[in-house]
Amino acid sequence: MDMLKRAIASDLFWSFKRSPVAVISALVAITLILAAVFAPLLAPYNPFDPASLNLMNGFSKPMEPNAFTGESFVLGTDDQGRDVLSTILYGMRISLFVGALAVLFAMVIGVVLGLVAAYAGGRTDAIIMRIADVQLTFPSILVAMLIFGIAKGFTPIHLRDQMAIWVLIISIGLSDWVQFARVVRGAALVEKSKEYVEAAILIGRGPVAIIFKHILPNVLSPVLVIATISLALAIISEATLSFLGVGAPPTQPSLGTLIRIGQGYLFSGEWWILFFPAVTLLLLALSVNLLGDWLRDALNPKLDD
């Protein structure tokens, strides 16, 4: 309660209220995220339950009864007879799940390595940042394709079909940690030179405690900004990887997989299979991006004008 009051009284919230773009994007993002989280309650069908599907419902136009079965779907159905609305809601869950965990993964690796590099300096710093360079050499697409290959080699056969999602998370996360590490290192170098760190050394705090208890909380603002923008990026990356055939499995499609499937119907007139997932992805990524943008400006006091 106290926290809430403080949050409402904070400058951040004040600048939030003054930015219509931020308010609208927050509303859109929250609506979409809630819709995804509560998909099982909101969606009229469960598109992940293959037994409930009737292939003959395939390619129903939005709001029009299907020629074979007579059933009608608000946003139509896709090539497998899945209700597009339900598929989008469930797909958004997968996209957000992958995005959020990938960002979390990248954040944990990036923040820890960035902090260690900044605090230890010298050789440790050089090695970590050199690894970051090598990592940057491998763009996310390549990383994902390679990890897919590797994971296939190591996962037992009966787990391979569930592997895709985790491979996505790891590969998107792996290709994303560098920017966390770089930003955290930069911020931590600034913090490290501050006197409160000296004060902590002086009273006998060990390096681990100083890194995580003192420096870490002070570098979280830029991390938050990057995390927000990375979330949008991760969702898009997942979609891109899906185009290359290393995305979420078609039986449990993410938004990206839906778009990959839908783009095949761009010329054939079944526009709804592409249009609705694409618009959802656009809204989701755009609102998260705009929020990240606003957050970046709002957390940078120097730019507060």
Partner 1 sequence: MALLEIKNMVVEFPGRHGVFTSVKDVSLDVAEGEILGLVGESGAGKSTVGNAVLNLLQAPGRLAAGEVWLNGERIDQLSQSKFRSIRGKRISMIFQDPMTSLNPIETIEYQLVETILTHLDVSKKEAEQRAIDLLDQVGIPDPATRIKQYPHQFSGGMRQRVVIALALSVEPELIIADEPTTALDVTIQAQILELIKDLCKSRNLGVILVTHDMGVIAETADRVAVMYKGELIEVGDSDQVLRAPKEEYTKSLIAAVPPSNKKIHRFPKVALTDSDGSALQDFDLKGHWLAAGDVHDATQGTLLDVKNLSKRFLVQNAFLERNRRYVDAIKSVSFDVKAGETFGLVGESGSGKSTVARVLTGIHPATSGEMIFDGKDLTGKSGKSEAAAARGDIQMVFQDPYSSLNGRMKIGSIVAEPMVVNNLTSNKEERDDIVADLLELVGLGKDAARKFPHEFSGGQRQRISIARALATRPRFLICDEPTSALDVSIQAQILNLLKDLQEELNLTLLFISHDLPVIRQMCDRVGVMQFGELMEVAETEAIFEAPQVAYTQQLVSQMPKFSK
Partner 2 sequence: MMYDNFALDCFVILYLTFNRFESLAAKGYLLKKYRFQGVSGFSALGSPKQSQDRTKINSWFNRVFNTGGQILFKKISLTASAALLVSTSFVAAETLNWARAGDSLTMDPHAQNEGPTHTLAHQIYEPLLLRDNTGAVEAALATEWGPSADNPNIWEFKLREGVTYHDGAEFDSEDVVFSITRAMSEHSNMKELLSSVKEVRATGKYSVEIETNGPNPIMASNLTNLFMMDKGWAEANDAVAVQDIEGGEETFASRNTNGTGPYKLVSRAADSLTELEAFDGYWGKGEFPLEITKINYTPIKNPATRVAALLSGEVDFIQDVPVQDLARVDGDENLQVITAPQNRVIFFGLNQGDADLKTDDVEGKNPFADLRVRQAMNMAINREAIQKIVMRDQSIPAGVAMPPFVNGWTEALDTLPSSDLDAAKALMADAGYGDGFSVTLHCPNDRYINDEPICQAAVGMFAQIGITVNLDAKPKAQHFPQIANSETDFYMLGWGVPTFDSAYIFNFLVHTRSDERGSWNGTRYSNAEVDEMIVSLESETDLDVRDATVAKIWAQVQEDVLYLPIHHQVLNWGTSNKIDTVVSPEDQPKFKYFTLK
Partner 3 sequence: MLSYIVKRALQSVLVLLAVGLVAFSMFRFVGDPVENMLGQERTNADIERLRESLGLNDPFLVQYWDFLVGAVQGDVGVSFRQGRPALELIMERAPATLELALVSAIFAMVLGIVLGIYTAINRKGPITNFILSTSLIGVSLPTFLIGILLIYIFAVELKWLPSFGRGETVDLGWWSTGLLTWSGIKSLILPSITLGLYQMTLIMRLVRSEMSEVLRQDYIRFARARGLSERAINFRHAVKNTLIPVITVAGLQIGSIIAFAIITETVFQWPGVGLLFIDSVQFVDIPVMASYLMLISVMFVGINFLVDMLYLAIDPRLRDGKGS
For residues 56, 60, 65 and 69, what is the CA-based torsion angle, rounded to 10 degrees? 0
SS3 19: coil
Q: Which is nearer to partner 3, 66 or 78 (CB)?
A: 78
Instruction: In angstroms, give the least distance from the CB of 270 to partner 2.
Output: 7
Which of 1, 3, 51, 134 touches partner 3 (CB under 8 A)?
134
Size of the site for partner 2 (CB under 8 A): 32
CB 120, CB 82: distance < 8 Å: no
Instruction: In angstroms, give the least distance from the CB of 85 to partner 3.
Output: 20
Residue 138 binds which of partner 2, partner 3, partner 1, none (CB < 5-8 A, kind-dependent) = partner 3
In 3D space, the residue among 116, 111, 129, 113 whose CA is nearest the CA of residue 221 turns out to be: 111
Binding to partner 1, residues 195-254 (CB under 8 A): 195-196, 198-205, 209, 214, 217-218
Which of 84, 111, 144, 233 touches partner 3 (CB under 8 A)?
233
Q: Which is nearer to partner 2, 191 or 270 (CB)?
A: 270
Binding to partner 2, residues 173-232 (CB under 8 A): none
Q: How far apart are CA 189 and CA 179, in angstroms?
A: 15
Which of 29, 58, 99, 116 touches partner 2 (CB under 8 A)?
58
Binding to partner 1, residues 116-155 (CB under 8 A): 122
SS3 221: helix
Tokens of 198: 């000296």
Q: Is 14 in the site for partner 1 (CB under 8 A)?
A: yes
Residues whose CB is less than 8 angstroms from the CB of residue 141 and which lie 6 or more positions away in sequence, other chains included: 240, 241, 244
Size of the site for partner 3 (CB under 8 A): 42
C-alpha to C-alpha distances, 281 to 40, 218, 284, nearest whole angstrom: 19, 33, 5
Q: How far apart are CA 240 and CA 245, in angstroms?
A: 9
Which of 68, 120, 124, 138 touches partner 3 (CB under 8 A)?
138
Instruction: In angstroms, give the least distance from the CB of 149 to partner 3.
Output: 4
Give CB contacts under 8 A, 24+ apart, made by 52-59.
53/80, 53/81, 53/82, 54/81, 55/80, 55/81, 56/81, 57/81, 59/270, 59/273
Q: Which residues bind partner 2 (CB under 8 A)?
A: 49-51, 53-56, 58-59, 68, 79-81, 152, 156-158, 160-162, 245, 249-251, 263-270
Binding site for partner 3 (CB under 8 A): 21, 130, 133-134, 136-139, 141-142, 145-147, 149-150, 152-153, 232-233, 236, 239-240, 243-244, 256, 259-260, 263, 266-267, 278, 281-282, 285-286, 289-290, 293, 296, 302-303, 305
